[in-house]
């Protein structure tokens, strides 16, 4: 039986034109293109097959990124008026088919900071690798701005609802013996009941289950705030990880020798062996 290796990346691209701690002061001064160029160079050097990218918010930045990644001939996203729906895009070296975007039923509230879920129309993008039974699912859940992940927190019901919607979709695929690679920014730390319940109900395997350290760079957090790992790549048990790595773990230097982060998140890479 023929086996194929698929290497996949999940990365929040930090596609916003401002620093989250200094929104007004940095609006339109956060050089997205500079950071996207740096990310594209890292991706090129890593020779990854499939990219699950979050926060590619508008068409100018999407088309700029597309030019930077010409080796990825197969691209999937759902169009909105100003950019990819939910900021979610999948770039692939393998042909893709049967793409569909699912809006989260519960995106948040107009009355608090979860309004961003409405603005970007958060949800998940599901697509199949052509001529296989492997589905790639990319998602970005609504942010918990309180950084409080107790079950009594005001965002807890929202997180449960979005996770449940993903689980229902996963079960619809698993019942057909399809296999899944699910990646994204879940805005949910690993050391919580939400994570444990998701693993139990989804029947997926966390490729980085041994790690709990943050995948969000501390300099982007509010003073005194902390958060554990919020980025993940999950997969069906029959897909076997043979290699894992992190990218963009540290700051880079620009042409003037000034330190900068290519993204506010660390990127996750997994290579799977599929029969």
Cα–chain-centroid distance for residue 140?
A: 6
Q: DSSP string spanning 13-52?
A: ----SSBTTBHHHHTTTS-HHHHHHHHHHHHHHHT-SEEE
List, for the chain, all residue ranges whose pLDDT scores fall below the cut of 50: 1, 24, 26-27
Residues 6+ apart with CB under 8 A from 62: 56, 77, 83, 84, 89
pLDDT at 15: 76
pLDDT at 266: 96
Domains of the chain: 4-274 (3.60.10.10)
Q: How many other C-beta atoms are found inside a 10 Å radius of the C-beta of residue 220?
A: 15
Query: C-alpha angle 151/153/159, rounded to 5°?
Result: 70
Separation of alpha carbons 257 and 64, rounded Å: 24
pLDDT at 67: 97
Specify the DSSP element, H or E, that contains 74. Answer: strand 74-76
Q: What is the pTM of this model?
A: 0.93
Separation of alpha carbons 130 and 122, rounded Å: 25
The pLDDT tens digits of the residues spanning 144-172 come to: 878 888 889 888 999 999 999 999 999 99
pLDDT at 1: 40
Q: Is 172 exposed, middle or buried (0-12, 13-18, 19+ CB in 10 A)?
A: exposed
pLDDT at 20: 59
Average pLDDT, the chain: 89
């Amino acid at each position: 039986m023929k086996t194929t290796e698929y290497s996949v990346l999940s990365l929040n691209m930090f596609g916003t034109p401002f620093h989250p701690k200094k929104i007004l002061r940095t609006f339109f001064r956060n050089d997205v293109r500079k950071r996207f160029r740096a990310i594209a160079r890292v991706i090129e050097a890593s020779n990854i097959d499939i990219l699950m990218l979050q926060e590619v918010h508008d068409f100018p930045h999407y088309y700029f990124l597309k030019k930077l990644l010409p080796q990825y001939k197969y691209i999937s996203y759902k169009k909105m008026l100003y950019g990819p729906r939910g900021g979610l895009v999948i770039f692939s070296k393998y042909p893709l088919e049967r793409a569909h975007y699912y809006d989260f039923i519960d995106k948040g509230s107009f009355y608090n900071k979860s309004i961003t879920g409405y603005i970007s129309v958060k949800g998940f993008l599901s697509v199949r690798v052509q001529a296989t039974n492997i589905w790639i699912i990319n998602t970005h859940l609504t942010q918990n701005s309180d950084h409080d992940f107790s079950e009594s927190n005001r965002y807890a019901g929202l997180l449960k609802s979005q996770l449940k919607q993903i689980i229902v979709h996963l079960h619809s695929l698993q019942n057909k013996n399809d296999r899944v690679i699910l990646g994204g920014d879940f805005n949910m730390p690993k050391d919580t009941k939400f994570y444990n319940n998701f693993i139990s109900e989804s029947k997926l395997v966390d490729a980085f289950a041994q790690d709990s350290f943050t995948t969000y760079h501390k300099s982007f957090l509010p003073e005194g705030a902390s958060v554990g790992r919020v980025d993940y790549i999950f997969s069906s048990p029959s897909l076997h990880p043979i290699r894992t790595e992190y990218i963009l773990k540290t700051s880079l230097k620009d042409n003037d020798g000034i330190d900068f982060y290519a993204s506010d998140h660390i990127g996750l890479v997994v290579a799977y062996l599929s029969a």
